Amino acid sequence: MKILVVASEVAPFAKTGGLADVTGSLPKEIKQRGHDVRIIIPFYKTVAKGGFPIRKGRKSVEVALGGTTHKGLLRQTSLADIPVYLLENKEYFHRDFLYGTPAGEYPDNARRFAFFCRGVLDILKKMDFRPDVIHCHDWQTALIPILLKYEFNKDPFFEKTAVLFTIHNLAYQGLFPRKSLAEMGLAPSYFTMERLEYYGQVNLMKGGILTADLINTVSTTYCKEMQTPEHGCGLDGVLQTRSDDLSGILNGLDYTEWDPATDRHILKNYKSSALAGKAVNKKGLQKLLGLEQKRDIPLLGMVSRLTEQKGVDLLVELLPQFEAEKLQLVVLGTGDARYIKLLQDFQRHGAKNVSLNIGFRPELSPMVYAGSDMFLMPSRYEPCGLGQLMALRYGAVPVVRKTGGLTDTISDFRDDVKEPNGFTFDEYSAEAFWDAIMRAVHVFGDRAAWVKIVRRGMNCDFSWQRSAEKYEELYLRGVAIKKG
């Protein structure tokens, strides 16, 4: 099959979160299964300055938006021998951030990603590359299935092309005012309940859900959750109308990149059968962050966006209790200004066993995974989550709330399973979170039991292989739909 992956970010070229990890890993697995895979993303400023070998292409695009023609140029690089096309337009993409500044999203995002989506369809014709499947990711690419259904529905070039639309986080929907229709080159007829209208606004996520041949999300539990009012973000009814075409596939982890046995960013490599190196990393992390260097003190790590979704409000509420206990807490991340301020206010208080590291520090992230005994993910909701998979891989036992992909990957002693790999809690409250932490700390005191659960987690298989098989099945299903 010919597969085109279309995304707004792909690691290592451009990344703000887990979306880039998925789009940077899954195509490699699909290619290994014998398919012709190609990727296309915007040519951002961060890509241009990233030191990647980039070839200037000869092909150009012309996109009409709001009565004005906008031009772009196609460049090319590669990812593990997979062609990666970069759609260039300096007005739209040569900016310091992908989607917006810390002050808010760019006001022309609708036009920016309309140019990208229309440019993708234009360049496919000029390249004479006819994908069997276009795999679109999140609202930034949702205009592609919309255009294929309503504008290109009689175009023989795309007659046999199926669209798989993957939802990574339903909370981000691409909501814009009604006037944005013209800015995206769309007729007023698109502003109906059956198409893009959503409580007086334009909703691109809704349009993608309604028009893609198949839809999936990033875990089986989140697939069920997002069809409920509690987690549906207002689109639960829309998703229910496509339930027969909707599925959940758990994200995998790139085990070649995230491997404590080979990771060059940690102090000493180790594996599940030889854990001495983990103790070295713990001591090194303690020293680096000014914590007491003692092996028998439980060290709890958290690498996260500091947002309400990630349960940071529960963490903030518990900070005085962390300080009072004989344990250590390391937090790394950046996010909402209000949580950053609360954490910084506590930091000024001078707790000696709590290290709060505000900012994007990718070099510290592997050290936290390798040096922590436990890893905290008290998420309010979590479509899939990669942090718990990284933690398992590095022998940091996850303490998580049972929601979304965390439910699908972490099991507790209380779940009556033979081989639990972490600690979970159900109720979204600081009390329930603290209870799970204390249960983990209690088991930590039994060295033999703790080593057993650490090794069990490190030996879990959440690699991309099994997930890639399921995506391949979806691609084949999409092809069958187009064949009728």
Element (H, E) at 457: helix 447-458
Mean pLDDT of the chain: 95
Mean pLDDT of 238-262: 96
The answer to whether the beta carbons of residues 163 and 213 sit under 8 Å apart is yes
Q: Is residue 257 part of a domain?
A: no
Q: What is the pTM of this model?
A: 0.94
Q: Is residue 353 part of a domain?
A: yes
CA dist 442 and 446 (Å) reads 8
Identity of residue 161: T
Answer whether residue 416 shows pLDDT above 80: no
pLDDT of residue 102: 77
285 and 227 assigned to the same domain:
no
178 and 287 assigned to the same domain:
no
248 and 289 assigned to the same domain:
no
456 and 471 assigned to the same domain:
no
Neighbours of 363 (CB within 10 A): 7
| Cβ burial, residue 108 (10 Å; 0-12/13-18/19+) | middle
409: CB partners within 8 A, 6+ apart: 250, 385, 388, 389, 392, 460, 462
Q: How confident is the model at residue 17 (pLDDT cuts 50, 70, 90)?
A: confident
Identify the CATH number of the domain in which residue 185 sits.
3.40.50.2000
Mean pLDDT of 202-207: 98
Q: What three-state secondary structure class fits 10?
A: coil
Q: Summarize pLDDT for 207-246 with one digit per residue, the tens.
A: 999 999 999 999 999 999 999 999 999 999 999 999 999 9
Q: Is residue 270 part of a domain?
A: no
The answer to whether the beta carbons of residues 465 and 252 sit under 8 Å apart is yes
Q: Is residue 412 part of a domain?
A: yes
341: CB partners within 8 A, 6+ apart: none
Q: Is residue 164 part of a domain?
A: yes
Q: Is residue 271 part of a domain?
A: no
CA dist 145 and 208 (Å) reads 6
366 and 232 assigned to the same domain:
no
CA dist 461 and 253 (Å) reads 9
Answer whether residue 273 shows pLDDT above 80: yes
Q: What is the dihedral of CA 38, 465, 15, 370, to 10 degrees?
A: -150
Q: Summarize pLDDT for 39-48 with one digit per residue, the tens.
A: 999 999 999 9
CA dist 150 and 387 (Å) reads 39
Evaluate the CA torsion angle 174, 176, 181, 182 in order and state its sign: negative
Q: What is the dihedral of CA 99, 102, 105, 106, to 10 degrees?
A: -80
Mean pLDDT of 388-395: 98
Answer whether residue 328 shows pLDDT above 80: yes
pLDDT of residue 144: 98
pLDDT of residue 58: 78
Mean pLDDT of 125-148: 97
Q: Summarize pLDDT for 50-77 with one digit per residue, the tens.
A: 999 999 877 899 999 988 899 999 999 9
Q: Is residue 126 part of a domain?
A: yes
469 and 422 assigned to the same domain:
no
Least confidently predicted of 143-152, 355-364, 475-484:
355-364
Nearest to 391 by CA among 399, 381, 402, 383: 399
Number of domains in the chain: 2
Q: Tell me the sheet residues that pair with 37.
A: 3
Mean pLDDT of 434-442: 97
Q: Is residue 263 part of a domain?
A: no
Answer whether residue 81 shows pLDDT above 80: yes
Domain region containing 337: 276-461
Mean pLDDT of 140-161: 97
90 and 15 assigned to the same domain:
yes
184 and 285 assigned to the same domain:
no
230 and 98 assigned to the same domain:
yes
433 and 473 assigned to the same domain:
no
Q: Tell me the sheet residues that pair with 198.
A: 201
382 and 476 assigned to the same domain:
no
Answer whether residue 409 shows pLDDT above 90: yes
363 and 402 assigned to the same domain:
yes
pLDDT of residue 57: 78
Q: How confident is the model at residue 450 (pLDDT cuts 50, 70, 90)?
A: very high
